Amino acid sequence: MSRAATLLIVEDEPETANLLETYFRAHGYQVFTAPSGEEALSMAQARTIDLIVLDIRLPDMDGFEVFRQLRAHRRTREIPVIFLTEKRERESRLTGLEMGAHDYIPKPFSLQELRARVQNILHRSRAEPAFDGLTGLPGRPLVMEHLREQLERSDWGALLIGLQGLEVFGERYGFVARDDAIRAVGLLLARINQENGDAFFLGHIGEGWFILIGSRHQLNTVARQAIARLRNALPYFYPLQDVEERPPDLPVLQVAAAQVQGTEGPFPNPETVIRHLLERRKAFPS
């Protein structure tokens, strides 16, 4: 785990809320609590929450209503929820699972059991998805799988290509503009690959970085095309006004790329190939 997981405990009984807060804090979690449905909803909108422990019985609305509203908003839709139910409320257990809650636990519960369920769900939801959510291209796990197959041969080549300076660009123009730029790079690379008979495997390894894997004999051609066309596209990522006026503090976006060929190996594993490419990245001044 790279950072402490953040929990939101939604429970109006102060004793239970305090107990859970203290217990999960002691186990290294960051914990927020909310005593009502309204407060839970606004807190989930305002903070980055990894998992919600949601009591069914709340003073202002029931847990199901809170859950329904969480699912109705883009920002909170994907947050896993564990319901706390009353033991005799078999109905609520069924309703919760039907609605798509990740789990439920009847009161009175054991703290250890609750923590085990929290850990399981966090582990599952942190597993990397196969396709990148932004570009729809194969994500890192699929790239690694594809590279691993190539490592047994020697005639493969890989091109790492992407944008350098995205962080500053995003700070200036916002993350929507930044995501648009990343998506545009993905689309442009997919088009270039298509024009080359889809000869390469195209993956998105994260942020603004993409990889094309295929025959080393075709690699130079594709690399030249990709670098040239991305450099031509760069001005379109900026607001028109900034392109025309060129303010002195214009954030610099540059195309950067690196190549590797199977003959340069042997590479013991796909991670080595990626590291090699990242270290070799060279930016092309615009």
Question: Per-residue x/- mask for Ca ion, residues 25 to 64, rule CB under 5 A?
Answer: ------------------------------x-x-------
Which residue sits closest to Ca ion, CB atoms considered?
57
Residues 247-276, interacting with Ca ion (CB under 5 A): none
Least distance (Å) between residue 63 CB and Ca ion: 9
Residue whose C-alpha is closest to residue 48's, from 22, 30, 66, 71: 30
Minimum distance between the CB of residue 111 and Ca ion, rounded to whole angstroms?
17
Judged by CB under 5 A, does residue 12 bind Ca ion? yes
Judged by CB, which is closer to Ca ion: 89, or 207?
Answer: 89
Q: Which stretch binds Ca ion (CB under 5 A): 10-18, 132-140, 161-169, 222-230?
A: 10-18
12 vs 39, beta carbon nearer Ca ion? 12
- CA 65, chain centre distance (Å): 28
Nearer to Ca ion, 12 or 89 (CB): 12
Q: What is the closest distance, in whole angstroms, from the C-beta atom of residue 86 to Ca ion in the complex?
A: 9
**Long-range pairs of 118-126 with CB within 8 A, sequence gap ≥ 24:** 118/5, 118/7, 118/24, 118/51, 118/53, 118/82, 121/51, 121/80, 121/82, 122/5, 122/50, 122/51, 122/80, 125/50, 125/51, 125/78, 125/80, 126/1
Give, in order, the Cα–Cα distances in Å from 38 to each of 20, 32, 52, 165, 177.
Answer: 20, 14, 14, 40, 32
The answer to whether 282 and 259 have CB atoms below 8 angstroms apart is no
Using the contact rule CB under 5 A, the part of the chain among 11-19, 75-83, 155-163, 241-249 near Ca ion is 11-19
Q: How many CB atoms lie within 10 A of CB 283?
A: 14
User: Closest approach of Cβ 59 to Ca ion, in Å?
Assistant: 8
Question: Can you give the binding site for Ca ion, defined by CB under 5 A?
Answer: 12, 55, 57
